[in-house]
Structure 1
Amino acid sequence: EFGRYASGDILEPLDNYIDMKSADVQDFIAPVLRLYNKDGKQLALPHFAATQLLYYRPDLFEKAGIKRPPQTWEEFRDDCELLKKADIQCTALRGQPDTGEN
């Protein structure tokens, strides 16, 4: 939605508010903050950002014949098939749903 609002020039830049002492944008991760910046004007502030990462067990990958962690979603899918053939569960997710999980 942000892109649509930003391109429609209906958002008020937040720069004057950010300049106030009570707003410290240094608390935000810089690349995430820049996602909400257009033409040098801060039009929004991120309210949530997460890092998606993969933990893996090299011993189980080796058992399944996988030489390195996947670099793409296609490799991830293929590796899951190899793990399944070796009777190893491919994924485990944390205990609560998040974006993209349903």
Structure 2
Amino acid sequence: MTRNRPTADLSTLAGLKATRHSIRAHCLNPHCGSRLLDLDALICQFGPDHVVINDKRISSALVCQNARCPRYGKRGGTITIHPHTWTPPGAVKPLNPP
């Protein structure tokens, strides 16, 4: 038996939210790290139909917030899209979660 899964346009902010994906921001300094972005705030700023694939507006609006980074307070960066992951209750969790 096959399940009918809802489809969503994963190229838009609304589609990512509907499928519980997340977006992480990365500073241009490779040693700085990353942070999770608020999808609701992005939707308010750019609109639900904003396409994130090859996006330049979100990545150019990023500001480094790591005070120990030499790029602290500077604009620019990259974004990555991450699928929602779920561990069923009682399942073995990885020793070193990401």
Please report the TM-score for the alignment, with normalisation by the length of structure 1. Answer: 0.24
More strand by share: 2
More helix by share: 1
| Greater radius of gyration (CA) | 1
The structure whose RCO (Cα within 8 Å, separation 6+) is larger is: 2
